[in-house]
Structure 1
Amino acid sequence: MFLTVRPLPRSWRSLALLSLGLLAGGCVVGPDYRAPEPALPGRYLNARSGPSVTAASLDGWWKRFGDPVLDALIAEAVANNLDVEQAKARVRQARATRLQTAAALAPSVDGSAASTHSRTSASASGANVSSNLYQAGFDASWELDLFGANRRSLEAATRSAEASEEDLRATLLTLVGDVAQNYIEARGYLARAALARRTTASQRETAELTRAKVDAGASSPVDLAKARALAASTQANVPTLEASFAKSAHRLGVLLGRGPEAVVARMRRDATIPAPRRPLPPGLPADVLRNRPDLRQAERKLAQATALIGQAEAALYPSVTLSGTLATSGVRVGDLANASSLAWSFGPSVTVPIFDAGRRRAAVAVEQALRDQSHAAYHGAILAALEDVENALVGLAQQRLRSGHLDTAARGYREAARLARIRYAGGSSSFLDVLDAERSLYDAEDNLLQSRILAATSFVALGKALGGGWAGEIDAARARVVDSNTGPRLATRPAPRD
């Protein structure tokens, strides 16, 4: 329910306008935002103590692989990825919304013009009487932001625009990590498929040797059947690995904003698993607050939610609007400029909330609850970020240790398989020794490749967790779809749907 008073007496108007002019300069309601200062550990549990690092020192972390193909794919993805395009559009939307909100702080002025032509019939003389009336004028209004509702709204819109910019950076960070991970996985599947083919060829040679020994009566047909079965079992891994490679390569194509098949042939040119040539500095836990865009975005959303509380609280207080009208009219167009035809009005209107059954108070409580949700989400995001870093650090360190042990094991099994073949060919060893050695060698070499893949992807996870991202320029102001011929024109019937 509202009580509207219009107009105030002249003495009251002067006093009210003076008071409002003073109050409108800086009166606001609601809590003022203060950035939280979460308690963070002094160092990472799974990393040595080191100096603080900046986002600039982490930008381009994928270049530590020294892989020009990966660098080119990431650059292409940043330029064409559709998730990035959506994030850019959200930035433009938030900026435009802020401009809309800022307009509420300024007066609004509308102009109008009218031309009326009429004819009436005089009952006495029977003659028709024609007349013309021309009118023009301006209407102006200005809502005084007495308790800061519009300023709080603008503050919230500003924080929303800042959050959208951080969302764009977070989208780029995720994109870079996804491209790097799928690239490494695709290379890894190719390397494992190549290993399976090489091992199959070697096991078939062993089967041929066994067949010759069977023909000479020096071996059992059972050994030949086992040798052929082992080669076929190893060969059966190739289709599964090829399907996994295709899935990663197809995902890369989509991440680049192209068709799934776009990079398949390009990826088949090299089956080397990338390995980082330089380590990443983990820095300090406090660095994630400055470097990770998702945390900065969560903090800006918390600031936005705090400002919206003030906007809701301002609705509990009276609002004042200044309005005025300037109009002129005449029977001829030239009469509009005569001073005698001018008419004007000016005055404030005051709207006072009296009773609404607690609706406005409830609106404040809603915004406070939303602020509390944003506060919890911000601190939860910090904990999740620290967890990401710790997991990536321990995963990378342990996979490197595992790769070292698996490399030693693979060399040992390689030598064992070589000696077993020699002894089997010379008749001093059973086929069971050869079968076991070749099976163990393939498993060891395949496990080594998988460990190298996991070590490389753990490096990618660490780069993402620390907040490293794209360092190049991103033009969010340029729209992907450019409309043309949007002015007034004759309407055309839309084409029918098929």
Structure 2
Amino acid sequence: MPTAGLTLDQALSRAAANEPAFAAAQAEQRALALERTNAKAALLPTAIYHNQSIYTQPNGVPTSRIGQTTGAASPVFIANNAIREYASQGVFNETVGFAQVGAVRLASARSALANAQLEIVRRGLVSTVVNLYYGVGASADKVAVARESLAEADHFVDITQKREAAREVAHADVLKAQLSQQQRQRELDEALLASNKAKLELGVLLYPNPETPYSLAPASAPAMLPEKTGIEALAKQNSPELRGALASVQASQAMTYSARAALAPDLALNFTYGIDATNFGVNGPDGIHNLGYAMSAALDIPVWDWLSTERKIKASRLREKAATVALTAAQRRLIANLAEFYAEAKTASDQLARLDQSFVTARESLRLVNLRYVDGESTVLDVVDAQNTLLAAQTAQIDGRVRYQLALANLQTLTGKL
């Protein structure tokens, strides 16, 4: 369905819903958040309701109990208690150890890393959409400029033809004006092609059918460049690259902790309540009370594993050092990006007024040259040169405005405002 007046925020929202890389990063972030919750849940006791019925082949020998023969045969397997055995029990287990704490730390670090990577992907998508969005706007403006230039060239051809008919200029002036007219027509064709390509590239991110017709909302005046100190504080506070590098360090530290946890003992606790008897009931046929409980505690102390744990600790520490190097590199990269982006925005901002003035000057120059040509005081070459100058000034004005908008958007993305 055609969309009129598409704003940048609407474009970003549509792109976020359609971009597969962003969807994959979002799914990974949510999945790791669930894994972090599961790691925390592993610290808590577990409960199951166990039900079992066992039948064992009898060995044919009557069972003896307290000096008397019961008449019932014994099971053929000595590990089983009776020929028929029924269990219906609530089983509670809890394992206390450093490995479970290490798993929580690792899951938390991986979840934080996924959050940072999601933000990195989101900002990359924002940068792509912003570039395409402003590119579409600029291409539309260049089409309008090309149409104006062609109209100006058409008007000048008409002037030269009339002056030739009046025997005021030679036919060479007409030919020169027609050559300029043909050049302007080619430029308009190229501008239309570039505009269509830009709209299709943005349409790929926004619509199921990239050929869906749409137009952009009217461009507003560019915002003022904010102070550098405020941008620096926000950039350092909201940098996903820094958060991701820090999460990588924390993940490496958690892996080291988990590896060292293998050297510590684990305490396993168990509490079982229910029945485990030859008949399924609270009381047996002989009046014995079947319902009861059992508790156990096991402490496993690691003794020797052929130094496998020590090697795992060493490998984790190596990865931790590499992650620390990556963190310092991310800090340096942030400082450089901030300086580069701000300098780019400052330069583009300073040039906006001069580009506007150049356009006004070039337009006035063309007007005066046209008047002088009509009066026979300038040549056709002067007019064509003035036309070229005006076209270059208009194009530079459009490019300068887009340059500033993109530079400002880069700063906003760097600080997390966009």
Relative to the length of structure 2, the TM-score reads 0.80
Query: How far did 1:132 drift?
Result: 7.5
- Matched residue of 1:387: which SS? helix
The aligned counterpart of 1:107 is 45
Pick aligned residue for 2:135 from 150, 164, 185: 185
Checking the alignment, whether the CA contact within 8 Å between 1:253 and 1:260 is kept in structure 2 is yes
| Aligned position for 1:432 | 381
Structure 2 residue 59 is matched with structure 1 residue 96: no
Amino acid at match of 1:196: A
In the alignment, which residue of structure 1 is the partner of 2:84?
Answer: 133
- 3-state DSSP class of the match of 1:105? coil
Give the C-alpha shift of residue 311 in structure 1. Answer: 0.8
The one-letter amino acid paired with 1:237 is E
Q: Is the 8 A contact 1:132 1:332 kept in 2?
A: no
Question: Match of 2:281, SS?
Answer: helix
Pick one of 146, 149, 171 that aligns with 1:199: 149
1:263-282 matched pairs, under 5 angstroms: 264-267=213-216, 273-282=219-228
Contact 2:225 2:346 in 1 (8 A): no
Q: Distance in 2 between matches of 1:120 and 1:341?
A: 25
2:96 match: 144
Question: Shift in Å at residue 354 of structure 1?
Answer: 0.9
**Residues 143 and 245 (structure 1 numbering): CA distance in 2 closer, same or farther, change over 3 Å?**
same
Within 5 A, what are the aligned runs for 1:307-326?
A: 307-323=254-270
Structure 2 unaligned spans of 5+: 61-72, 74-81
- Structure 1 counterpart of 2:262, which letter? A
Q: In 1, Cα distance between the equivalents of 2:228 and 2:250?
A: 28
Summarize the Cα distance change of 1:249–1:132 in structure 2 as closer, same or farther, 3 Å threshold.
farther
Distance 2:197 2:142 in 1: 15
Q: Once the 2 structures are TM-superposed, how far is the Cα of residue 454 of structure 1 from its aligned partner?
A: 0.6
Distance in 1 (alpha carbons) for counterparts of 2:190 and 2:368: 31
Q: Which runs of 5+ in 1 are unaligned?
A: 1-66, 123-128, 470-498
The amino acid that maps onto 1:151 is V
Find the counterpart in structure 1 of residue 328 from structure 2.
379
Contact 1:317 1:353 (8 Å CA) reproduced: no
| 1:10 paired residue number | none
Hey, what does 1:483 align to over in structure 2? none
Verify the 8 A CA contact 1:84 1:171 in the aligned structure 2: yes
- Preserved contact between residue 318 and residue 352 of structure 1 (Cα < 8 Å): yes
CA distance in 2, matches of 1:466, 1:344: 60
- Are 1:292 and 2:239 counterparts? yes
- Aligned counterparts of 2:58 and 2:255: Cα–Cα separation in 1: 58
Cα gap change, 1:257 to 1:346, in 2 (>3 Å): farther
Match of 1:160 in 2: 110
Q: CA deviation at 1:194?
A: 0.7
Partners in 2 of 1:346 and 1:392 — Cα distance? 64
Letter in 2 for 1:245: S
Q: For the residues of structure 2 that align with 1:277 and 1:289, how far apart are their CA atoms?
A: 22
The C-alpha deviation readout for 1:243-286, integer Å capped at 9, x for no partner, is 43334433444444654234x4223xx6x654323333332534
2:79 match:
none
CA displacement at 1:440 relative to structure 2:
1.7
Mapped to 1, the partners of 2:350 and 2:228 lie a distance apart of 19
Matching residue of 1:466: 415
Deviations 1:370-390 (A, max 9, x none): 222322222222222222221
Higher helix proportion? 2
In 2, the alpha carbon distance for the partners of 1:446 and 1:252 equals 22
Q: Distance in 2 between matches of 1:367 and 1:235?
A: 66
Matched, 1:242 2:188: no
Q: Which has the higher contact order (CA 8 A, sep 6+)?
A: 1
Contact in 2 for aligned 1:318/1:353 (Cα 8 Å): no
**Retained in 2: the 8 A contact 1:192–1:449?**
yes
- Take 1:340 and 1:286, find their aligned partners in 2: how far apart are those partners? 70
Cα 1:448–1:365 shift into 2, 3 Å: same
User: In structure 2, what residue type is equivalent to 1:279?
Assistant: L
Kindly state the Cα deviation for residue 190 of structure 1 after the two structures are TM-superposed.
0.5
**Quick check: 243-252 or 428-437, which moved more?**
243-252
1:47-103 per-position Cα deviation (integer Å, ceiling 9, x unaligned): xxxxxxxxxxxxxxxxxxxx9833444455556665554443233212210122123
Deviations 1:191-225 (A, max 9, x none): 01110111011112112222333444443444333
Cα contact 2:109–2:251 (8 A) shared by 1? yes
Alignment of 1:294-373 (within 5 A): 294-323=241-270, 328-334=275-281, 338-339=288-289, 344=294, 346-356=296-306, 358-373=307-322
SS in 1 for 2:326: helix
In the TM superposition, residue 116 of structure 1 has moved relative to its aligned partner by 4.9
Amino acid at match of 1:112: H
Distance change (3 Å), C-alpha of 1:233 and 1:336: farther
Q: How far apart, CA to CA, are the structure 2 residues paired with 1:161 and 1:172?
A: 16
Tell me the distance in 2 between the aligned counterparts of 1:266 and 1:68.
6
Whether the aligned pair in 1 keeps the contact of 2:235 and 2:416 (CA below 8 Å) is yes
Partner of 1:41: none
Q: Percent sequence identity over matched residues? A: 20
Task: Quote the offset at 1:422 in angstroms.
Answer: 1.9
Q: Is the 8 A contact 1:302 1:371 kept in 2?
A: yes
CA distance in structure 1 between the aligned counterparts of 2:207 and 2:379, rounded to whole angstroms = 56
SS in 2 for 1:219: coil
Give the number of aligned pairs.
389
2:391 match: 442
TM superposition shift of 1:134: 4.1
Q: Quick one: structure 1 residues 286 and 414, their matched pair in 2 at CA, closer, same or farther if it must change by over 3 Å?
A: closer
CA contact (8 A) 1:273 1:452 kept: no
In structure 2, relative to structure 1, the CA distance for the partners of 1:112 and 1:336 (3 Å cut) is: farther
